[in-house]
Structure 1
Amino acid sequence: MSRNVEIKARVKDLEFAKERILHLNSELCKDSDPKTTVLNQEDVFYNLPNTSTGKLKFRKIEGFPPELIYYDREESTGPKLSTYHKCEVPENLSVVLTKALGTWGIVKKSRTLIMVGQTRVHFDNVEGLGCFVELEVVLKDDQTVEEGQCIAKNIMYCMGIEEIDLISISYVNYKHPTIWTLTTKMRYENVADETKVA
């Protein structure tokens, strides 16, 4: 099982946000890799039993093998722990999963990745939703969640991201709020009343 600490926020100008990361001169970001990787992704989400609190998605990445990802993450603003399992799979597995489980959402996005130390900084242009920045602090085996939260907050502040910009739920929940509410109301007692991105 792998672990991340994540933050997701709305941004108005992705290019400006990228420049902030690439030109930060603080000690925090001195290891920034100026190289960027552009990933065109499509995530298909599958129905799961009500006993499961996580999400299962089939990710298509242009130029890379598909991945099957199961993850479990708290739906809240601020840095939050995400645990996940991921593996490369054949493309035709999506047909089998769709027949067996059914789907409830699809998210397409263009993602630019820049590494800042152990943090994956994603600049996402999400179809139908707009522009976002996502931080994923990849925790080492001996690191605590609190350490990851501190790293995420520091990068967030260096980028000029404010608390009001943070979002609590995933892209698929924003894109399909009604379906998500119906399929998760038995799992979550307190869900933020966020149904769309302005």
Structure 2
Amino acid sequence: MPSNVEIKAVVRDMGFLKERAKELSRSEGTVIHQQDTFFNVEKGRLKLRRFQDGTGQLIFYERPDMDGPKLSNYSISLTNDPEGLAKVLSDALGVKGIVKKERHLYLVGQTRIHVDSVEGLGQFMELEVVMKEGQGVEEGEAIAQELMQQLGVKREDLIVGAYMDLLMAAKSG
């Protein structure tokens, strides 16, 4: 199963973060509008990600709920019928919730920097260090820590869980 080391953090200064991400990636980045529908499952998380072009990805992942760099194992299947798949999965499993976001994606080496505006939550960033064959988790964590420093991400800005978890907590709180 593919894996990555990732962190998620609250963004305090979106302008600064985007500028640093542009400098580090040597690109303007890519803007992606995503809608993630999370389904009720016994373990891990299962979501259907829909894109503006009518395609989608079914993504299953498992990762510990803790702040700081953490290993995430995942599987992805592409679909050209996200609406039909959403209907089947909704009927079979039930919907946990939906997350809508505008994502700015920057690539730095083997790391994906996501700068996200999440509807109903605010502004966040994620680092996903995509692990290479034979690469140890410690190396991925070191890459994530270095990028956190370069992007000005402070330890106290790190958050636990998925956007879905944060939305559910905000609704119940």
TM-score relative to the length of structure 2: 0.93
Task: Give runs of ≥4 in structure 1 deviating > 3 Å.
Answer: none
Query: Does structure 2 conserve the Cα–Cα contact (< 8 Å) formed by 1:59 and 1:66?
Result: yes
CA distance in 1, matches of 2:170, 2:163: 13
Q: Which residue of 2 aligns with 1:67?
A: 57
Partner Cα distance (1:69, 1:151) in 2: 24
Q: Cα offset for 1:19? A: 0.5
Task: Tell me, in whole angstroms, the C-alpha distance in 2 between the residues paired with 1:64 and 1:124.
Answer: 21
**Paired amino acid for 1:99:** D
Q: Cα offset for 1:168? A: 1.1
Cα drift, residue 105 of structure 1: 1.2
Find 1:34's aligned residue among 22, 27, 30.
Answer: 27
Structure 1 unaligned regions, length at least 5: 24-28, 180-194
Instruction: Answer with 1 or 2: which has the greater Rg.
Output: 1
Deviation at 1:142, TM superposition (A): 1.3
1:64, CA displacement in angstroms?
A: 5.6
Counterpart position of 2:20: 20
Kindly report the root-mean-square deviation, in angstroms, between the aligned alpha carbons of the 2 structures.
1.6
Deviation of 1:14 after TM superposition, in Å, equals 1.9
| Residue 47 (str. 1) matches residue 40 (str. 2) | yes
2:168 matches 1:160 = no
| Structure 1 residue 18 displacement after superposition | 1.0
Distance 1:48 1:178, change over 3 A: farther
Which residue of 78, 92, 102 corresponds with 1:100? 92
Judge which range, 153-162 or 6-15, deviates more: 6-15
Sequence identity (%): 46
Could you tell me how far apart the structure 1 residues matched to 2:95 and 2:57 are? 16
Change (3 A) 1:38 1:178: closer
Question: Judging changes above 3 Å, is the alpha-carbon distance between structure 1 residues 63 and 2 closer, same or farther for their aligned structure 2 residues?
Answer: same
1:78 to 68, 71, 74: 68
Structure 2 counterpart of 1:113: 105
CA distance in 1, matches of 2:91, 2:147: 42
CA change 1:45–1:163 in 2 (3 A) is same
More helix by percentage: 2
State the 1:65 CA deviation.
1.6
What TM-score results when the alignment is normalised by the length of structure 1? 0.82
Count of aligned residue pairs for this structure pair: 171
- Give 3-state SS (helix, strand or coil) of 1:76's partner: coil
- 1:7 to 2:7 alignment: yes
How far does residue 169 in structure 1 lie from its aligned partner after superposition? 1.3
1:149 matched to 2:141: yes
